[in-house]
Amino acid sequence: MDIAAALEQVKRNIELARGRSVHAARQVQLLAVSKTQPLEKIAAAYAAGQQHFGENKVQELVEKQQQLPQLNWHLIGHLQRNKVKYVIGKTRLIHSLDSISLAAEIEKRSAAASVITEVLIQVNIAEEQSKSGVFVPELAGFVSELAAYPHIKLRGLMTIGPMVEDYEQIRPVFRELRLLFERERARELPYAEMSYLSMGMSHDYMIAVEEGANIVRVGSSIFGARNYA
Ligand SMILES: *Cc1c(COP(=O)(O)O)cnc(C)c1O
């Protein structure tokens, strides 16, 4: 299947999922996850109308952003503090804020560059060892602490669903993130314009849309399997 057709298929599935649920968002942004994919495939997706692209590694994001600066680049993978300096000013949205020390570094680099950096907090709902992210009991306090960082704008929450065979085990995780998102949005904090709920990947984005995601991060269903060679 070519990339334009795959994009159309994913968008159709998003609309179908939206139609199935009262919790679905009015609009869902499709983030094309282009990690490991060559520039030609990314350019083909852009030519087919795709605007937003996600990368999980800083170096790959920076290189691709230099080649294709007209695209909107999102960082979706874990960000190390010593790499923050490379991404400031280059991303539309960082989906993976997961510690206060990282927030402090983003603040410092953003202030030096006179930019406001938009972020999502990554939440580790099931407290899985293999994943980064703020645990649920710490989330409200974490959000409060961001008040100290005027060059960071909190735009919402992100999570990665558990890797399980039974898709219906994923649903409660997404549901919980939506409830947390609504709870934090209801605080109406001046530095938090809570608009984005980023959840769902190729195998579970339809469940995520049913549970209220308004950004889904889809890679292999658009570009085909990744080649990690
Ligand atoms: C790779 C990745 C995705 C997309 O994964 P697919 O299964 O290819 O759709 C989404 N989110 C994150 C954080 C990723 O690292």
The pTM of the whole model exceeds 0.85: yes
List, as one string, the DSSP characters of the chain.
--HHHHHHHHHHHHHHHHHH-TT--S--EEEEE-TT--HHHHHHHHHTT--EEEESSHHHHHHHHHH-TTSEEEE-S---GGGHHHHTTT-SEEEEE--HHHHHHHHHHHHHTT-PEEEEEEB-TT--TTS--B-HHHHHHHHHHGGG-TTEEEEEEE------S-GGGTHHHHHHHHHHHHHHHTT--TTEEEEEEE---TTTHHHHHHTT-SEEEE-HHHH-S----
Does the C-beta of 77 come closer than 6 Å to ligand 1?
A: yes
- Span 146-181, pLDDT tens digits: 999 999 999 999 999 998 888 889 999 999 999 999
Distance 34 CA to ligand 1 centre (A): 9
Does the C-beta of 74 come closer than 6 Å to ligand 1?
A: no
Does the pLDDT of residue 229 top 80, yes or no? Answer: no
Does the C-beta of 201 come closer than 6 Å to ligand 1?
A: yes
Distance 112 CA to ligand 1 centre (A): 31
- Span 81-140, pLDDT tens digits: 999 999 999 999 999 999 999 999 999 999 999 999 999 999 999 999 999 999 999 999
Distance 33 CA to ligand 1 centre (A): 6
Does the C-beta of 91 come closer than 6 Å to ligand 1?
A: no
Predicted pLDDT of residue 1: 64
- Span 15-70, pLDDT tens digits: 999 999 999 999 999 999 999 999 999 999 999 999 999 999 999 999 999 999 99
* Mean pLDDT of all residues belonging to the chain: 96
